[in-house]
Amino acid sequence: MAGEAARMLVERRPADLGVAITKSSPTDVVTEMDTAAEQLLRKMILEQRPDDAFLGEEGGANSGRSTVRWVIDPIDGTVNYLYDLPHWSVSVGVEVDGVAVAGVVAAPRLGETYTAVRDAGSWCNGVRLRVRPPTDLGRALIATGFGYRSERRERQGVIVGALLPRVRDIRRAGSAALDLCAVAAGRVDGYYERGTHDWDRSAGALIATEAGAIVQGFHGQSASEAMVLAAPPGTFTALHDALIELGAGAPDY
């Protein structure tokens, strides 16, 4: 179903695609295709699972009669999609009693589909995923993302500027789900971001966890809007401690 939504987003993307609405700020955009993809996913899922609950980025939350909840981001990386950059994905996570049990992140313009099942591993196009070996922070390639509100980006810019001399380099690709998958695939050594939502993390966090990453917030808390950190053990601790030292745990970050 994620693959079908992804194909629709590629094949039906208008040449003159524009912004349908904005959310938290003028740069937090929704396109007509975000809405169309989420509607398609809900329709396909409900045909087979009519009693399940939903949490979608564009459609909000709907309660169900079962213990299963589908967590959907129809386009993770909407600004990339708007600009016709390839780094965007369809993210679909499945929870049972609040615990993620399966996830798919489909990136059609990259030709990649990531999947995971709890306690059964994670995969990309049929190849088993494994995080990179732990490394010291000075040799770590770190992915991150930034918020939509200018005041938050200003503070995040200060933090990332202070972190940059301590690491190998920084990457900002524009899709939290794919950043988590990049940790799982060993393409980066770690990832951190403030401001992500359940739909950004649900599938990608499970994919990274099943590949051997620690995925948490600060001080052992669960990953949340306040912070998500993902890295192999060892690298995780070094990144966590550096970010705390630099003030990324402060309420105004």
- Quickly list DSSP for 32-78: HHHHHHHHHHHHHHHHH-TT-EEEETTTEEE--SSSEEEEEEEEETH
Choosing from 38, 76, 95, 189, the catalytic residue is 76
User: Given 72, 102, 128, which residue is the final one in a domain?
Assistant: 128
pLDDT of residue 189: 98
Instruction: Give residue 92's domain range.
Output: 2-128
57: annotated active-site residue: yes
Q: Determine the straight-line distance between the first and last CA of the chain, rounded to whole angstroms.
A: 37
76 is catalytic: yes
pLDDT in tens, 124-178: 999 999 999 999 999 999 999 998 888 888 999 999 999 999 999 999 999 999 9
Is 231 in contact with 182 (CB distance < 8 Å)? no
pLDDT(239) > 50: yes
Same domain, 114 and 141: no
Catalytic residue among 34, 52, 189, 200: 200
Domain count, the chain: 2
12 and 114 inside one domain: yes
In the annotation, is 200 catalytic?
yes
Whether residue 54 sits in one domain with residue 15 = yes
The pLDDT tens digits for 63-109 are 889 999 999 999 999 999 989 999 999 999 999 999 999 999 999 99
Closest by alpha carbon to 160, among 251, 247, 250?
247
Q: Which position among 34, 38, 52, 57 bears the catalytic label?
A: 57
- pTM given for the model: 0.93
- Domain check: are 34 and 108 in the same one? yes
Q: Is the pLDDT of residue 253 over 90?
A: no
C-alpha to C-alpha distance for 201 and 199, rounded to whole angstroms: 6
Please tell me which residue in 73, 179, 189, 193 is annotated as part of the active site: 73
Give the domain CATH number at 14. 3.30.540.10
Predicted pLDDT of residue 25? 45
Is 67 annotated as catalytic? no
Give 27's pLDDT tier (boundaries 50, 70, 90).
very low
Among the candidates 93, 128, 163, a domain finishes at: 128
How much is the pLDDT for 17? 73
Helix 32-48 × helix 2-11 angle, to 10°: 150
Same domain, 113 and 159: no
* Domain end residue (candidates: 128, 159, 181): 128
Average pLDDT, the chain: 92
| pLDDT reported for residue 28 | 46
Q: What is the reported pLDDT for 18? A: 63
Question: Residue 179: which CATH number?
Answer: 3.40.190.80
Measured CA to CA, the distance from residue 72 to residue 55 in angstroms comes to 6
Q: What is the 3-state secondary structure (H, E, C) of 141-186?
A: EEEECCCCCHHHHHHHHHHHHHHHHHCCEEECCCCHHHHHHHHHCC
Instruction: Give the active site residue among 78, 115, 209, 235.
Output: 78
CA angle at residue 57 from 32 to 73, to 5 degrees? 85
